[in-house]
Amino acid sequence: MDSAAWFRALGGSAARLTLSSTIRRALSSQTSGEVRLADVLRKKFPLASAVEVVDISGGCGAMYEVHVESVEFKGKRVVQQHQMINQVLAALHFSKCEVPM
């Protein structure tokens, strides 16, 4: 099915698919800062099953959202997990992180 047929199937030729900036950002290529930070985190946490870095400052590299899932966090309190991530970020002059519970 081509894109025109897909749009018609959604409700007519005038139908538009609106993506949030977060989704659009996720579908586009990563910035060099995102790649650099993700590489450092993967090296520091080699057992990580997921490492995601998103520049939430609009692409200028002023602020990143970091998500790391690793068995290395097993048995550690959330504050300890944050401390582990913050040690890596502090060395790179990043200061905010978020680790899932």
Tens digit of each residue's pLDDT, the chain (101 residues): 554 554 455 554 343 444 444 554 555 588 888 898 999 999 999 999 999 998 888 878 778 888 999 999 999 999 999 999 988 888 876 555 555 55
Q: At 24, which helix (H) or strand (E)?
A: helix 21-27
Question: What residues does 65 pair with on adjacent strands?
Answer: 54
- CATH number listed for the domain at residues 31-101: 3.30.300.90
Stated pTM of the model: 0.62
Instruction: Extract the tokens encoding 3.
Output: 């894109």
Any idea where the domains of the chain sit in the sequence?
31-101
Proportion of the chain in helix, strand, coil states, percent, rounded to 5: 45, 15, 40
Q: What is the pLDDT of residue 19?
A: 45
